[in-house]
Structure 1
Amino acid sequence: MYLPSFSLKGKTALVTGAGRGIGHAIAIGYAEAGADVVIVSRTQSDLEKTAEIIESKGSKAYIFEADVTNKDHIEKIFETLDSKKIRLDILVNNAGMNIRSKAMDVSDEEWNTIMNTNLRSAFWFSQKAGKRMKEAGGGKIITISSVAGHVALRTGVVYASTKAAIIQMTKNLALEWGEYGINVNSIGPWYFKTPLTEKLLANEEYLNDILAVTPQKRVGELPDLVGPAVFLASEASNYVNGQTLFVDGGMTIQGF
């Protein structure tokens, strides 16, 4: 049979930042594909709403209210999964944030907050998951980067630095862990309609600037991102490793 399976039935995925936006959509998409989902966020009420939808799809939801920048919280999540004998097949490092300060105005606090949320947490979750996946004989790790990690944008230097680092971290982890059957890839979105981008996209001038450099002349809808996330988590991507898949309407392909 040449058509690989996109089903995630029998798998368990962990998604950080799963309370809202991209993480929420991916968690639900994984449930629709058959996976049970471990959802992580700082806000219990958001997690409960996500869990309710996951369970309505016939999958199990495991809730962890946690701060991904706190290594003790990360340790506790994996200790609990181990104690409950919950196997981890898929990890999605989605938690992220931005503070749009200009380079000359960035404070130490802003630098540390963005770095810890976007990059440090992704590494620690990957390390914890990687050890378990090695013992289990394989797994899939997906980290959400951004087109800002590939081209220069008005998103702020610290955010862009974390997203570029994620692209390189993806390559290095794939190189180290490929022999263990662990596929490590990332997704680089452009603008998507989420609660975090709502105010920006409501600015007509800003929106027109985005559309002017997007060949498809629209911003992304969350289903546009869920499909690639399911692909990278499924058997369909078993020979895809160390790559960043830009889901950007063609934004990054342009020259002058």
Structure 2
Amino acid sequence: MKAQSFRPSLKFNGKIVVITGSGTGIGQAIAKKFAENGAHIVIMGRRREPLELTSAILSDTVKAAGSTGKVRSFHGVDVADEVGINNMFKVIKEEFGTVDIIINNAGVSGPVKVFTSATHAEFKECVAIHLTGAFWTSLQGIKSMERGGKIITIATFFTEENRYEQRPYRFRAPYTSAQGSKNRLAEALAWELVEKGIKSIATNPGPVHSDRIYKTVYPKAAAEFLRIGGYQGLTSIEIERVLTILLQLLGQPEPIVSEGIREAANEISKSQKSNSTDSFSSVAKMEAVLSGLLAKVQEIAEKIQFNTAKMIVDGEFLTQDDVANMVLNLCDDVISKLINGRVVPNDRVFYPVKPLVGTAILGTNLLHPKIKDKVVVITITSSSEKDLDRANKIAAALSSSNVKQVVILAKNPADLTRFRGFHSHLVNLSEEKSVRMIFETVRSKFGSLDALIHLTGDYDYDLPFSSLARAQWDSLVDNFINIPGLIVKEAVNMMAPEGAADEPVKFRGSKGVVVIIGPDAPVGKKISGTVRARSEVFRGALRPYTATVNQELADVLGSDIRLYLVLPGNIEGEPPDTEMLKNSLTHLLSVSSLKRSEVIFYIDESKS
């Protein structure tokens, strides 16, 4: 008897599903799963060739399923590009009329580097694709959605799943920051869209079998470990240069690998001769060293994979089909109703992490002797009366504690009049060169930069994210993610010996403190779930960023520099206590704070 082939039910027959980043990998697997279930599939991405291949696969899948589903492809579309996304949804509306499901899947690896070495442009691009891409795709898709529509946002287990559970992801600071914010955004949109009958759910897959992990993320992470730790007499700069060539050789045939190593050896040998060094007297010796370096990269990459697998309950990475099945189930009408507004774990990972979140900061004392003679910089991007007054009071408290110098840097010209009693400057805090130059000036004029306090200010929690213009959203991302990332990086580099960004070994033993004072919790007697959810979106970026940066500062760079995040306000809706904030900052700026494992503080939650 002839065996009957299994034919899935056409559960999503006639539904219009938009999947970002769907030319390869997980996105392609999700698209195929919906095609098997009768949906019309819209795929999009930046590269034409993968999308053409995926379109062919989906067309065959639709035919095999016996459905009337259509496949529409948009190539050359970057999810971070406002105009590209707008135009895509305009065409979708013309051709299909409505959108039923959006899958926010697009992503990039971003810089796989210690945060002190990544450029600000790399940081912003990663955040734009992961966070802004998901936001803008959702907003444009909502315009064509009817009741019953669903938005599924795919993030990662290497971020925060809630405000108390942090999972640092070394060498991936902008990535984990964007993903944490994306989780909180999915929650906020669920609250905002409930009246429209649209569901918003996020899911955090664990490690997934993919070319990106095996060919990009793990090898680059291994390369970064070697750049920081050194290898057989090569400088960090030399290691970075040759690995740019060598990483492309992974998986290539032996003749290509040998030729690539030979070219890299010639380049480094010439460079060493021009610098009057004789670490390696022949190209042959250099070839042997570089062969060993490439083998070491492979060894470390495999070790990262092995150690990650050991944290998974069954030791197995997810398949791309596993993730696709999860997404398909989340789009079920019954299931999506039950878990609307939630972040659904999909990782099976037990990730041991020290306690990173605290409330009370003990031992606070405004006259703490260990902050005497320090040079402290205060940066502020907010022009609200509350934040300007807060910055003034912090500066006054530090001055009365006999710090050597307080320097205040503001972004807005009118704000400088509020700081006439202090050394203050107007600086474009969103521009990499300007921030670096002013920090260099501080160090040159006062001898050091020992501590930095950055105030982000707040945003309007009553204003729906779903109503924002693109410029408004971009301004929020700059203020609460990009600018803090830039200021922290440049301040930390200034606390270390000159050249540490290029030669990370110089960070070892360096001292300093950076504190971000993030957005306040909502204030009031009756705070709605919608307002609470909105208030967490950018806090949700700063928390995993802080956790990851501290892991790199301590465990990777071996420094005594720390980053702390203070989030004022409490769940009772009481106004933040400025006196407690001043005392807490005084303690965090002291060296004794290095003994703490906590780096994220809700100081107003403690009852003193």
Structure 1 and Structure 2 fold alike (TM over 0.5): yes
The answer to whether the 8 A contact 2:18-2:43 is kept is: yes
Aligned counterpart for 1:180 among listed residues 196, 200, 208: 196
Normalization by structure 2: what TM-score? Answer: 0.40
Q: Does 2:21 match 1:17?
A: yes
Q: Which of 145, 152, 160 in structure 2 is aligned with 1:142?
A: 152
**Selected match of 2:41 from 32, 37, 40:** 37
| 1:243 match | 342
In 1, Cα distance between the equivalents of 2:49 and 2:314?
36
Note the C-alpha offset of 1:222: 1.1
Looking at both structures, which has the greater relative contact order when contacts are Cα pairs under 8 Å and sequence separation is at least 6? 1
Q: Which of 213, 217, 225 in structure 1 is aligned with 2:323?
A: 225
What is the Cα deviation at residue 160 of structure 1? 0.4
Return 233-242 or 157-166, whichever deviates more.
233-242
TM-score (norm 1): 0.91
> Aligned pairs, how many?
249
Q: Which moved more, 1:160-169 or 1:186-195?
A: 186-195
- Alpha-carbon contact 1:93-1:142 (below 8 Å) kept: yes
- Superposed CA deviations along residues 103-137 of structure 1, whole A, max 9, x for unmatched, are 2223210111101111111100111112222xx22
Shift of 1:16: 0.5
Partner of 2:175: 159
Kindly report which structure 2 residues correspond to 1:1-256, keeping only aligned pairs within 5 A, or say none. 7-58=11-62, 59-65=69-75, 66-98=77-109, 99-133=111-145, 136-150=146-160, 151-199=167-215, 200=218, 203-239=301-337, 240-248=339-347, 250-252=348-350
Identity of aligned residues (%): 27
Instruction: Indicate if the aligned counterparts of 1:149 and 1:167 stay in contact, CA closer than 8 A.
Output: no
Give me the whole-angstrom Cα distance separating, in 2, the residues matched to 1:175 and 1:156: 30
Relative to structure 1, is the Cα distance of residues 36 and 218 closer, same or farther in structure 2, using a 3 angstrom cutoff?
Answer: same
5+ residue gaps, structure 1, are none
2: CA distance, partners of 1:109 / 1:19:
25
Task: Please give the root-mean-square deviation of Cα atoms over the aligned residues, in Å.
Answer: 1.9
Paired with 1:22 and 1:86, the residues of 2 have a C-alpha distance of 26
CA drift at 1:44: 1.1
CA shift digits 1:164-198 (9 cap, x unpaired)? 00110011000100221111011111111112112
Unaligned runs of at least 5 residues, structure 2:
1-8, 63-68, 161-166, 220-297, 355-608
- The 1:254/1:34 distance shift into structure 2, 3 A limit, reads farther
- Give the Cα separation in 1 of the matches to 2:38 and 2:329: 13
Q: Name the CA shift for 1:48/1:156 in 2 (closer, same or farther; >3 Å).
A: same
Q: 1:12, 1:88 within 8 Å by CA — same for their partners in 2?
A: yes
> Deviations for 1:5-35, whole angstroms, at most 9, x for unmatched residues?
9811120100010001111111111111221
| Secondary structure at 2:143 match in 1 | helix
Shift of 1:252: 4.7
Contact 2:311 2:351 in 1 (8 A): no
Shift of 1:254: 6.0
Looking at structure 2, the residues matched to 108 and 155 of structure 1 have their Cα atoms a distance apart, in angstroms, of 14
